[in-house]
Amino acid sequence: PGSVFEEENQGECIAEYTEPHGVDIRIEMLNKSFGDLHVLKDIDLEIRAGETFSIIGPSGTGKSVLLKHIVKLVKPDSGRILIDGHDIFAKKPKDAPREYRYSMVFQTSALFNSLTVGENVGLWLREKRICNEARIRRIIRQKLRLVGLEGKEDFMTSELSGGMKKRVAIARSLAMNPDLILYDEPTAELDPVTSDELARVIMDLKKEVNLTSIIVSHDLNFAFYLSDRVAMIHEGRIIEIGTPAELKASENPVVKNFIFTTTK
Ligand code: ADP
Ligand code: MG
């Protein structure tokens, strides 16, 4: 890290716009139902600071719902989620985590097609008046460089390929200096070659930015390639967790079958 942010942190931005620091996340005995549908069952999971962690499994199995809990879009029926040891649903503010920033990259990139690439990346910075204009321009350039789109500020977003749009969406998320970034099915609309490129972009980010990454995907090639560890969810339960190599060597018949039927 360091070098990337040195330039940014010489004033001209609000004090809260600090360097990211990867957070650790602990999920303890989380349960969630929608009506009669028990979606998440006794989820126990620890994601370490700075880790790239994937959640895989068939569709309809609770992956997106789990992700939504981590960003407080959904509340658990029971269990806890701790960020750096603090309960994110704590009733008393003093028990809640210190300020941390998170950003979600959605399946559809959700960019403004009528804006340029640079305008999309700078939207939040300008709206919240995070920095002065000269500094915002430098930050945009730096975030685009991190996703391999250096110098593409003035491109029209509508003219980009799906893979490039996804990278702009990541750069836009990075503009917040998030401590935690979450990707929900990032390769859903991409072909295999573009998915491989995206995997490399996400992996390379780690070398320069101190953040924790969580990826939800049913694309096992993608998840295995870029993850430090992977958890497989099946029917709302974590049935296997480990490094990609450990998952590939799993003796669990459900895991074996899922890997066999979904990898190339
Ligand atoms: P996936 O693993 O494909 O991401 P989801 O987490 O989106 O699966 O959904 C898991 C199950 O929970 C599905 O059966 C889905 O229909 C159901 N579900 C998700 N969100 C809601 C909701 N807000 N209300 C009711 N049911 C929901
Ligand atoms: Mg989903």
Residue type at 30 in one-letter notation: L
- Asked if residue 163 lies in contact with residue 144, where contact means CB atoms within 8 angstroms, the answer is no
| Nearest CA owner, ligand 1 atom 26 | 34
**Which residue, 191, 154, 149, is CA-closest to 174?**
149
**Which residue, 160, 142, 159, is CA-closest to 151?**
142
| Residue 5 pLDDT | 54
Q: Is the pLDDT assigned to residue 94 strictly greater than 90?
A: no
Residue 180, Cα to own-chain centre: how many angstroms? 6
The tokens for 34 are 């929608």
Establish whether residue 59 lines the binding site of ligand 1, counting it when its CB lies within 6 angstroms of any ligand atom. Answer: yes
Listing DSSP states for 240-259 in one string gives: EEE-HHHHHT---HHHHHHH
Pairing assessment for the beta strands 229-234 and 52-56 based on DSSP bridges: parallel
At which residue do the structure tokens 């390929």 appear?
A: 161
Establish whether residue 60 lines the binding site of ligand 1, counting it when its CB lies within 6 angstroms of any ligand atom. Answer: yes
Establish whether residue 36 lines the binding site of ligand 1, counting it when its CB lies within 6 angstroms of any ligand atom. Answer: no
Mean pLDDT of the chain, nearest integer: 92
| Nearest CA owner, ligand 1 atom 10 | 62
Query: Mean per-residue pLDDT for 75-84?
Result: 96
Establish whether residue 34 lines the binding site of ligand 1, counting it when its CB lies within 6 angstroms of any ligand atom. Answer: yes
Establish whether residue 217 lines the binding site of ligand 1, counting it when its CB lies within 6 angstroms of any ligand atom. Answer: no
Of 64, 77, 233, which is best to mutate to test ligand 1, by the most ligand atoms within 8 angstroms of its C-beta? 64
Distance separating alpha carbons of residues 83 and 60, to the nearest angstrom:
26
Beta strand residue intervals within 147-251, DSSP E: 180-184, 212-217, 229-234, 237-242
* Ligand 2 center–CA 14 separation, angstroms: 35
How far CA 37 is from CA of 55, 79, 135, in Å, comes to 20, 17, 49
Q: Which ligand is nearest to the CA of 183?
A: 2
**Which residue, 185, 162, 178, 177, is CA-closest to 111?**
162
* Ligand 2 center–CA 37 separation, angstroms: 16
At 98-155, the pLDDT tens digits run: 778 999 998 777 899 999 999 999 999 999 999 999 999 999 999 999 999 999 999 9
Establish whether residue 39 lines the binding site of ligand 1, counting it when its CB lies within 6 angstroms of any ligand atom. Answer: yes
Establish whether residue 255 lines the binding site of ligand 1, counting it when its CB lies within 6 angstroms of any ligand atom. Answer: no
Question: Which carries the bigger pLDDT value, residue 4 or residue 61?
Answer: 61
- Asked if residue 209 lies in contact with residue 1, where contact means CB atoms within 8 angstroms, the answer is yes
| Nearest CA owner, ligand 1 atom 7 | 64
Question: What pTM was computed for the model?
Answer: 0.91
| Nearest CA owner, ligand 1 atom 19 | 65
Distance separating alpha carbons of residues 146 and 167, to the nearest angstrom:
9
At 178-230, the pLDDT tens digits run: 999 999 999 988 999 999 999 999 999 989 999 999 999 988 999 999 999 99
- Asked if residue 160 lies in contact with residue 187, where contact means CB atoms within 8 angstroms, the answer is no
